[in-house]
Amino acid sequence: MTPVVVLSRQGARTLAWDDVVRLERVADVRYHQLQHGPSAAEAAALLDGAEILATTNACMPTLDAALLDALPALRTVVLYATGYDHIDVDLLAARGIGLTVLPDYATNAVAEHAMAMLLSMATRLHLAHGRSRGAAPAAASLRGIELAGRTMGVLGVGRIGTRVAKLGAAFGMRVIGYDHSISATDTARNEGIAMTTRERLLAEADAVMVCASHSYDAPAVIGLDELDQMRCDAFVINVARAALVDTAAVTAAIRAGAVRGYAVDDVVLDPTIDGDLLAEGRVLQTAHSAWWRDEVLDRGRRMWAHHLLAVIEGRPLDAVTWSNGRPVMNGSHPAPDWDRVVDGDDELVVAP
């Protein structure tokens, strides 16, 4: 049977019991319960002989060339996550190693979290909470704004961005969108989203919602030039990757009065340097918690098991790298030709 290694914080308990039983009928599965990603030496020992690695982000080793050299049998990685910008996809593709992800298990939760961040910034809710327990400066104003009638600009109209746009419209906001992908743009138009240029979006939006995907080592999509194009009373709401927004540039813009505030689903500021922005509620950090919901955890473990079973059976779902519909053995086989297709939130590399 196919040798499979599963790395997670709860081991076999990460999956539903019936999925554990189903997997053990078709594969030789080894579960390892970890609290963090293993070192290269530890990973080489844990994954020895494995053809398939199923891993959560928290327990994933660094998949660099040296580790892959030590794992000649590895042919597929099944990731319990949506984003994969921390993985060198080109390296995996060059080695003929497949990668599959879960692009839709947290869409609603993340979109709702984006709206929660916007609502908090607009109403100053987070600052009011701080004031009630004596943790906010007395001089910091609790004065906020209404969202109805204002303009939401959605950067990246894939699954999450489209859902954010619909939620914004439900709050009475005028919604405009931009995506560099032609197919995503067409799909968004069919969903009723008014698509425009990036320049017009930045100039008109009261809230710029960053919902784009982030590729490995790619530059920020919101930097000094983009901030200069924005309204001085606009919010930047980043529910995607922190790297999509230049943190130094946006904090400088807030201090200069060039934008109103910034919310990010991560922790990006040093409180010893920018603690005043946090205390005054001009920056809101939510520590990568957008996906952490009861429904998402239940849905995610089911989807992960389903994707793992699909890979074992040679019919991958949501493949980022793959070859001719079949896993490619790492090692002596030549690297296949890859076509790159961009689809909203997800960058897919599929066989011709």
pLDDT tens column, 38-85? 999 999 999 999 999 999 999 999 999 999 999 999 999 999 999 998
Distance, CA of 215 to CA of 97 (rounded, Å): 18
Residue 297: partners with Cβ closer than 8 Å, 6 or more residues away: none
pLDDT at res. 73: 96
pLDDT of residue 331 exceeding 80, the answer is no
pLDDT at res. 215: 77
pLDDT at res. 27: 97
Amino acid sitting at position 99: L
pLDDT at res. 138: 87
Percent with pLDDT over 90 in the chain = 86
pLDDT at res. 53: 98
pLDDT at res. 287: 96
323: pLDDT confidence band, cut at 50, 70 and 90? low
Distances in whole angstroms, Cα of residue 300 to Cα of each of 31, 101, 202: 18, 11, 34
pLDDT at res. 330: 37
pLDDT of residue 327 exceeding 50, the answer is no
pTM: 0.87
* 52-56 sheet: strands from edge to edge: 27-33, 2-8, 52-56, 76-80, 98-100, 319-321
Distance, CA of 114 to CA of 116 (rounded, Å): 5
16: pLDDT confidence band, cut at 50, 70 and 90? very high
Domains detected in the chain: 2-105+294-350 (3.40.50.720), 107-285 (3.40.50.720)
Mean pLDDT of the chain: 90
Contact status, residue 281 vs residue 125, Cβ threshold 8 Å = no
pLDDT at res. 160: 96
Q: What string of DSSP letters covers 296-339? A: HHHHHHHHHHHHHHHHHTT--SSEEE-BTTB---SSSSPPPP-E
Would residue 41 be called left, alpha or beta, if left means φ above 0 and alpha means ψ between -120 and 50 degrees?
A: alpha
3-state secondary structure of 100: strand
Q: In 10 A of CB 266, how many CB atoms?
A: 19
pLDDT of residue 112 exceeding 90, the answer is yes
* The pair of three-digit structure tokens given for residue 310, joined into one six-digit string: 């699909």
pLDDT tens digits along 235-268:
999 999 999 999 999 999 999 999 999 999 999 9
Q: In 10 A of CB 203, how many CB atoms?
A: 15
Distances in whole angstroms, Cα of residue 182 to Cα of each of 114, 175, 178, 211: 24, 19, 10, 16
Residue 64: what are its φ and ψ, rounded to 5°?
A: -100, 180
339: pLDDT confidence band, cut at 50, 70 and 90? very low
pLDDT of residue 350 exceeding 90, the answer is no
pLDDT at res. 344: 32
